[in-house]
Amino acid sequence: MARTKASSIKRGPFSEEARSPEVTQENIAQRAYSLYEARGRQEGHDLDDWLQAERELLEEESGLSIHKRGARKS
């Protein structure tokens, strides 16, 4: 039976190993909870909040923002 080395398995950009030490699950959970509260504690958006929080934290860390990428001068 062939074995695959764990180090040879490719990880996605949002996997725990691909994240910087500053973007932890605890940080994401706190940001997601803030999003939940900002929406008035409306249930049913936990995954959306988690993914948005993760995306925002990774963008902040990398120096990108939605506004910088999407901004155009008129």
pLDDT at position 22 is 79
User: What DSSP state is assigned to residue 4?
Assistant: -
72 vs 47, residue with greater confidence: 47
Decide: helix, strand or coil at residue 41. Answer: coil
Q: Which range of residues forms the domain containing residue 49? A: 23-60
Tell me the pLDDT band of 19, cut-offs 50, 70 and 90.
low
Report pLDDT digits (tens) over 28-66. 999 999 999 999 999 999 999 999 999 999 999 888 655
32 within a domain of the structure (yes/no):
yes
3 within a domain of the structure (yes/no):
no
Tokens matching residue 20: 């910087």
pLDDT at position 63 is 83
Asked whether residue 21 carries a pLDDT value surpassing 50, the answer given is yes
52 within a domain of the structure (yes/no):
yes
CA distance 31 to 55: 10
Domains of the chain: total: 1
pLDDT at position 66 is 55
